[in-house]
């Protein structure tokens, strides 16, 4: 009953076919534009559960810690696994804590899940603490918690620091 009509379809022009053949040869060299796809984001570096690292870690990428780290960590996204322990300062854009951190946490977004255990101060822009999370320390909101000039929490002892000679 219905059939496709070729009335609405334009007929191929001989000049279009000729133009396609000649355009490549008439272009000056180096003017071809090739769209490049952005480099895919590498997967997070995973520190396995049987790994103990003593020392500081610094990356612009993502780290997932399942083992133990005794040192400071600086990353874009830090995920602390349920069985993981970090003893040191953590600085990251996003921090997701499922395990244990003993030390200061600084992040734009900090999330303590129900299995998290944090013993230290948290300096953040936004924070989420799930029911069941264990947290001992103070919480301070800052617009730029990642800056090196983050305020240190006042010490409880009032002994003066020794003078440098």
For the segment 124-148, what is each residue's pLDDT rounded down to a tens digit? 999 999 999 999 999 999 999 988 6
Helical residues (DSSP H) of the chain, grouped into ranges: 14-26
β-pair partners for 75: 92
Contacts 24+ apart (CB under 8 A), 61-66: 65/99
Residue 3 has pLDDT above 60, yes or no: no
Q: Is residue 71 part of a domain?
A: yes
Q: Is residue 38 part of a domain?
A: no
C-alpha to C-alpha distance for 88 and 90, rounded to whole angstroms: 7
Instruction: Using the Cα atoms of residue 104, residue 107, residue 111 and residue 115 in order, give the sign of their dihedral.
Output: negative
Residue 66 has pLDDT above 50, yes or no: yes
Q: Is residue 3 part of a domain?
A: no
Residue 49 has pLDDT above 90, yes or no: yes
Give 40's pLDDT tier (boundaries 50, 70, 90).
confident
A 10 A CB-CB count for 156 gives 5
Q: Is residue 160 part of a domain?
A: no
The total domain count for the chain is 1
Domain that holds residue 104: 45-141
* Residue-level pLDDT at 157: 43
pTM of the complete model: 0.66
Average pLDDT of the chain? 81
Q: Is residue 147 part of a domain?
A: no
């Amino acid at each position: 009953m219905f059939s496709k009509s070729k009335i609405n379809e334009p007929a191929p022009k001989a000049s279009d076919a000729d133009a396609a053949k000649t355009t490549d040869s008439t272009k000056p060299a180096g003017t071809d534009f090739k769209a490049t796809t952005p480099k895919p984001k590498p997967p997070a570096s995973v520190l396995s559960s049987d790994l103990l690292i003593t020392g500081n870690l610094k990356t612009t990428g993502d780290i997932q810690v399942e083992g133990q780290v005794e040192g400071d960590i600086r990353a874009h996204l830090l995920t602390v696994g349920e069985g993981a322990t970090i003893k040191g300062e953590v600085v990251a854009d996003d921090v997701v804590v499922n395990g244990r951190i003993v030390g200061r946490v600084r992040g734009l977004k900090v999330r303590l899940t129900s299995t998290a255990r944090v013993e230290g101060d948290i300096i953040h822009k936004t924070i989420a603490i799930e029911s069941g999370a264990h947290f001992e320390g103070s919480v301070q909101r800052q617009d730029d918690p990642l800056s090196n000039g983050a305020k240190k929490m006042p010490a409880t002892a009032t002994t003066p620091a020794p003078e440098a000679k």
